[in-house]
Structure 1
Amino acid sequence: MRYLPLTPADRIEMLGVIGAASVDDLFSDVPEAARLSGPIAGLPAHASEMAVERHMSALAGKNLSSGAAPFFLGAGAYRHHIPASVDHLIQRGEFLTAYTPYQPEIAQGTLQVLFEFQTQVARLFGVDVANASMYDGSTACWEAIAMAARVTRRNKAVLSGGLHPHYVACVETMARFTGETIDARKPLLEAASDDAAVIAAIDGETACAVVQYPDILGRIPDLAAISAATQAAGALLVVVVTEPVALGLIEAPGHLGADIVVGEGQSLGVGLQFGGPYLGLFGCREKFVRQMPGRLCGQTVDADGRRGFVLTLSTREQHIRREKATSNICTNSGLCALAFSIHMSLLGGEGLAQLAAVNHGRAQTLAKRLAQVPGVSVLNDAYFNEFTVILPGDAREVVRSLADAGVLGGVSLGRLYPDAQDLHGGLLVTATETTTDEDIEALATALSDVLEGAAA
C-alpha cells in the first residue's frame, strides 16, 4: 500500500467538513494534564536504523529470559516445552492469520481447525460446547460473568479470593460500565481454599460464583460443594482455569457441576512471549449456548453430501447484532487457537495425562526440597504444579535477590497484592516438565543463601 500524506489544504478541508477548527479540537475529551506539549524528554529527535537496532539490542540484553536461568514463575503464565512442529505448522501460508474470516465458508480449512479446537476445549473442560476462542483468560472471565447475568437476570457476582488479582481487576473495570455488583475477597495464607466463604456469600441476588481451579495460591477448591450451593440459589458456577495442563490430572470442571468454564490457553502451544498474545478459552452447558459470546463453528454436509464446516453462531459483534450482541470484544485468537490445537493433537489424551503427571511430580520434588530450607514452609496440602511457600520476610526482596543470583525464583504475593501486608511473606513457585533437578537445587541453594544473608 502506498503512503499518500495529506497536504495542509486537505487537512483544512477535512476539519471543515466535521466542524472542527483545528486538529487539537479532536482531543478535547483528553484532559489537558494528560496531553503532551512537546517531544518526550530523553528521546532523541532522530537516529539511524542501525543505531536504533543497536540500542534496542542493548536494552533486550538486560532481560533475563525464561530459558536462560532456572525458572519458577507461573501465576497464570507458564513455561512448557512446545514441540518444534507447532511453530512450523502455524507459519504455513494457509494458516498464518490471527482471525476468523468474514466470509468463513470460503476458508474450509480454517473452520475445520476451529471446529477441532472447540471439540478439544469442550472435552478438556468437561462441557457440552466451546466457542472458537476469546481474547485472553481475563476478558473471558468477564464475559462469563456478563453471560451469567443475562441467563439469571441478576447482577451480583461472588468472586473467590483465589481468583487471580489481574482477572479481578479486569472484571471490576468492566463492571464499572455495566452495573454488575462484584463481591470480591482477598486470599488468606491458609492451606484450604475459601470455599466456605464463597458459599456463605451466595444469595438470591447472585448471578454467579467465580472460582479459579487450581487457584492463585495453587490450592484445589471443592467445585462440587460450590456447585451445589449455586444450584440451590438459582445461580451459576463459573470456573476459571489458568493452567489447562492441570486438567490432564484433576477432574474436569464441567464434571463437577460448573455451568461455564473459561480460562487461559497459553500453556499449550503458545510461548510466554512477554505477556501476549494469549488465548481465551470459553465453554458452557448446551442450554446456555445462545448466550455464549464469541463465534461457534459447526460441522454439516453440503448439497452433495460431503462433509463441510460453517460458522454456526456469531452473536457477539456489532456487525451482526449491534447493541444486542452478547459481546463487543471483537477479537478471537485464531492463530493461538491453532497452536493450542496442534499441541493438543500431538499430545493426545494419554500424552496430556502423562505431561500433567510429570508436572505434578516435578512440583512434589520442588516442594520437598524447599521445605528443607531453614525458615521456609510450604503452605499447600494439595496442588498441581504450583504452590505457595511462606518466607520469614517480604518475598519481593527475596525475589530480587534471587534474580541477582541468576535464578527466577517465583512470583511474590506482595507484587500481586501490594496493599495486603499479611500476604507479603508468600512466594508462589511453579515447576513444569522444563524444570530440572539442577534448577531445583539452584533455587534451594540461592534461597538459603539469601535468607541467611538477610538474617545476618
Structure 2
Amino acid sequence: RAVVASYLQNLDDVQLEEIPFDATGATDVDQLAIRLNDQSMCVVVGYPNFFGVIEDLAPIRTACTNAGAQLITVTTEAVALGLLKPPGDFGADIAVGEGQSLGVPMSLGGPAFGFLACQQKFVRNIPGRLVGETVDTDGRRGFVLTLATREQHIRREKATSNICTSQTLCVLGATVFMSLLGKSGLRRLAEINVLRAQEALRQLREVAEIEPVFSGPCFNEFVMGARDVERLFSKCAANKIVPGIALKKYYPELPDGLLVCVTEMNEGEEIERFVAVLTE
C-alpha cells in the first residue's frame, strides 16, 4: 500500500482509495460497490490478499464491470496459483505477481522476478517483450521476438519504458523448478502449503488456545490474535524463531494481530516447536 501511495502521490488526477476488509479478512464487497463509480479506473486486489485470505474474485469482477473499472490481481505467493482458480477465469484484466517462491532463493530479500499477464486487448501496452513460439523453414520448433513495445531502439520516444532490468537468471531457475515439478507437482506443492498452514492453525487453537482473527479461507498465511505481541516476540527470539509480522504498525485496528506464514519449508517438528514456545 505504501509503495502504491508513493508512486501516485504526485499525480493530481489520480486518487487512491482503500476499501476496508470484512470479518472474513477479505475485501468488503458491499463497500467496494458503494464506492465505485464511473470515474473509477481500476480495483487492485490481492489473490491471496495480505492477510493470506483467498479472495472471491467473482463479486469483485461484477462490481468492476458495473462501474466500468478494470480488475487487477496481485499474487505475492506464486505457488498458490497451482491450486487456486486462475484470475483470468474470473475475467481479470491484468494479473501480476511475485515469482520468488518458484525455486528462487530468499537471498536476504533479492533478487527475484515478477510476472505479468493481461487480456489480449492490452498486449501492446505491456512494458516489455513478448516471445512467441513458431517453426523454422525446416519445421523445427523455435522462438522469436514477436512484440517489443518498450524498447528505445525501436520505438524511440514512443517507448513504454526506458528502464531495462534483467531477471533472466531468476526466471531461468524458476523455469527449471516448474519443469521438474510439472503440472501435478506444482498443485501438490500448493496442497502441502495449505495442509501445513492448517495444521499449524489447528495446533495453535487446540494447544495454545490462540484463535484466528479472520474466518475466511487461507492459503499458507493466516492472522492470529496474540494476547501480548511484544512478549511473544521476546519468547520466540530467545528460541531463534521468527513468529511472523505484527500488524499493529500497518493496521492499527488489529493491535493484537500477528500474520503467520507456514510453507512447504516448515516441517511438522518446527510447527510443534513454535506452538510449544507459545504455550510456555
The answer to whether the superposition gives a TM-score over 0.5 is yes
- Partner-residue secondary structure (3-state), 1:378: coil
Q: Which residue of 2 aligns with 1:175?
A: 8
> CA 1:436 to 1:180, structure 2 compared with 1: closer, same or farther past 3 Å?
farther
> CA 1:321 to 1:170, structure 2 compared with 1: closer, same or farther past 3 Å?
farther
Higher relative contact order (CA 8 A, sep 6+): 1
- 2:188 is equivalent to residue 354 of structure 1: yes
For residues 268 and 210 of structure 1, the distance between their equivalents in structure 2, rounded to whole angstroms, comes to: 23
- 2:226 is equivalent to residue 391 of structure 1: yes
Q: Which residue of 1 aligns with 2:97?
A: 263
Task: Please tell me whether the aligned partners of residues 315 and 326 of structure 1 are also in contact (alpha carbons under 8 angstroms).
Answer: yes
Q: Which residue of 1 aligns with 2:268?
A: 437
Q: Which residue of 2 aligns with 1:344?
A: 178
Per-residue CA deviation, residues 158-201 of structure 1 (Å, 9 max, x unaligned), is xxxxxxxxxx2222222234555242427558324124233332
- Partner-residue secondary structure (3-state), 2:80: helix
- Partner-residue secondary structure (3-state), 2:206: coil
TM-score normalised by the chain length of structure 1: 0.57
- 2:23 is equivalent to residue 190 of structure 1: yes
- Partner-residue secondary structure (3-state), 1:444: helix
Task: Please tell me whether the aligned partners of residues 178 and 186 of structure 2 are also in contact (alpha carbons under 8 angstroms).
Answer: yes
Task: Please tell me whether the aligned partners of residues 399 and 411 of structure 1 are also in contact (alpha carbons under 8 angstroms).
Answer: no
CA drift at 1:267: 0.3
Q: Which residue of 2 aligns with 1:404?
A: 238
- Partner-residue secondary structure (3-state), 2:260: strand
For residues 186 and 257 of structure 2, the distance between their equivalents in structure 1, rounded to whole angstroms, comes to: 30
For residues 385 and 436 of structure 1, the distance between their equivalents in structure 2, rounded to whole angstroms, comes to: 13
For residues 129 and 230 of structure 2, the distance between their equivalents in structure 1, rounded to whole angstroms, comes to: 41
Q: Which residue of 2 aligns with 1:224?
A: 58
For residues 173 and 329 of structure 1, the distance between their equivalents in structure 2, rounded to whole angstroms, comes to: 19
Per-residue CA deviation, residues 314-348 of structure 1 (Å, 9 max, x unaligned), is 21243433442223442241111111111111111
For residues 410 and 268 of structure 1, the distance between their equivalents in structure 2, rounded to whole angstroms, comes to: 21
- 2:155 is equivalent to residue 321 of structure 1: yes
For 1:123-202, what aligned pairs fall within 5 Å after superposition?
168-179=1-12, 181-185=14-18, 188=21, 190-196=23-29, 197-202=31-36
Identity of aligned residues (%): 45
Alignment: residue pair count:
278
Task: Please tell me whether the aligned partners of residues 32 and 63 of structure 2 are also in contact (alpha carbons under 8 angstroms).
Answer: no
CA drift at 1:396: 4.8
For 1:11-410, what aligned pairs fall within 5 Å after superposition?
168-179=1-12, 181-185=14-18, 188=21, 190-196=23-29, 197-374=31-208, 376-381=210-215, 382-393=217-228, 395-410=229-244
Q: In terms of Rg, which structure is larger?
A: 1
Q: CA RMSD in A?
A: 2.1
For residues 409 and 380 of structure 1, the distance between their equivalents in structure 2, rounded to whole angstroms, comes to: 18
- Partner-residue secondary structure (3-state), 2:253: helix
CA drift at 1:301: 3.2
Per-residue CA deviation, residues 208-234 of structure 1 (Å, 9 max, x unaligned), is 100001111111111011111112222
For residues 191 and 204 of structure 1, the distance between their equivalents in structure 2, rounded to whole angstroms, comes to: 28
CA drift at 1:260: 0.5
Letter in 2 for 1:361: L
Letter in 2 for 1:431: V
Give the one of 253, 256, 259 matched to 1:425. Answer: 256
Task: Please tell me whether the aligned partners of residues 218 and 380 of structure 1 are also in contact (alpha carbons under 8 angstroms).
Answer: no
Letter in 2 for 1:232: N
TM-score normalised by the chain length of structure 2: 0.91
For residues 62 and 74 of structure 2, the distance between their equivalents in structure 1, rounded to whole angstroms, comes to: 17
The structure with the greater share of residues assigned to helix is 1
> CA 1:321 to 1:398, structure 2 compared with 1: closer, same or farther past 3 Å?
farther
Letter in 2 for 1:385: N
- Partner-residue secondary structure (3-state), 1:423: coil
> CA 1:252 to 1:173, structure 2 compared with 1: closer, same or farther past 3 Å?
same
Task: Please tell me whether the aligned partners of residues 389 and 429 of structure 1 are also in contact (alpha carbons under 8 angstroms).
Answer: yes
CA drift at 1:380: 3.2
Task: Please tell me whether the aligned partners of residues 19 and 28 of structure 2 are also in contact (alpha carbons under 8 angstroms).
Answer: no
- Partner-residue secondary structure (3-state), 1:298: strand
User: Bigger shift: 198-207 or 320-329?
Assistant: 320-329
- Partner-residue secondary structure (3-state), 2:266: coil
CA drift at 1:298: 1.3
- Partner-residue secondary structure (3-state), 1:409: coil
CA drift at 1:359: 1.1
